[in-house]
């Protein structure tokens, strides 16, 4: 995949070596390997936020006094998710 707008990013020497080794092992360019690593890191961050939010809501739902309260917590979670996308 060719980037339309290239940007220069300076990596620490140890990170550059790791990306370079991965690129060589996978038959990719350093740019391709670096882009994949950044995408993976950003994706992981989103997953961690989702897991944390899920644990919070499930705990709140478990502590709800009534089924109606639990349902309202779930509805609030869906609304929050839709407004933060």
pLDDT value for 6: 77
The enclosing H or E element of 22 equals helix 13-26
Name the residue with higher pLDDT: 1 or 16: 16
Least confident range of 12-21, 40-49, 60-69, 71-80: 40-49
Give the helix ranges, DSSP H, for the chain: 13-26, 30-63, 67-84
What is the tens place of the pLDDT at every residue in 2-55? 556 778 889 999 999 999 999 999 999 999 999 999 998 888 877 788 788 888
- Spatial contact of 23 and 32, defined as CB atoms under 8 Å apart: yes
Residue 19, class by beta-carbon neighbours within 10 Å (0-12 exposed, 13-18 middle, 19+ buried)? buried
Nearest to 3 by CA among 24, 34, 26, 25: 34
């Amino acid at each position: 995949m060719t980037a339309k707008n290239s940007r220069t990013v300076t990596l620490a020497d140890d990170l550059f070596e790791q990306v370079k080794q991965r690129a060589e092992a996978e038959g990719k360019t350093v740019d391709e390997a670096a882009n994949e690593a950044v995408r993976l890191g950003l994706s992981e961050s989103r997953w961690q936020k989702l897991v944390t939010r899920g644990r919070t809501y499930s705990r709140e739902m478990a502590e709800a006094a009534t089924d109606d309260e639990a349902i309202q917590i779930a509805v609030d979670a869906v609304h929050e998710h839709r407004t933060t996308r």
